[in-house]
Amino acid sequence: MPHQPYNACIEACNACAVACNHCAASCLHEEDVTMMARCIALDMDCAQICSLAAAAMARASIHAKAICALCADICQSCGDECAKHEMVHCQECSKACHQCAQECRKMASTA
């Protein structure tokens, strides 16, 4: 299977997309949604790029390396923002984002 060398990164991207979608939905239920606007926006961007990166790796796209490099940057940004908030969903999202950023950097540098 062409995606087998990327399995750890694909799994990290999928887990991050789920965490970001959950975080965005949870942030919408916070008391001060306006304060969470940046977090929600980054969650949505991150979930989308993670899904794209996982799909690109699964089909061994010639653009997978570039997509994963961008994904790492967006995951880092989202993870850093989520880390600023003390809610459990934000802290869990931050961990998933930082893990995904690490896996995507590794993939982009070795692909």
Give me the domains of the chain, ranges plus CATH numbers: 4-110 (1.20.1270.360)
pLDDT at 1: 46
pLDDT at 5: 82
Q: Which residue has the tokens 């008391």?
A: 31
Is the model's pLDDT at 60 over the cut of 70? yes
pLDDT tens-place string over residues 9-58: 999 999 999 999 999 999 999 999 999 999 999 999 999 999 999 999 99
- The per-residue b/e assignment along 36-48, b for 16 or more CB within 10 angstroms, e otherwise, is beebbebbebbbe
pLDDT at 3: 55
d(CA 48, CA 20): 9
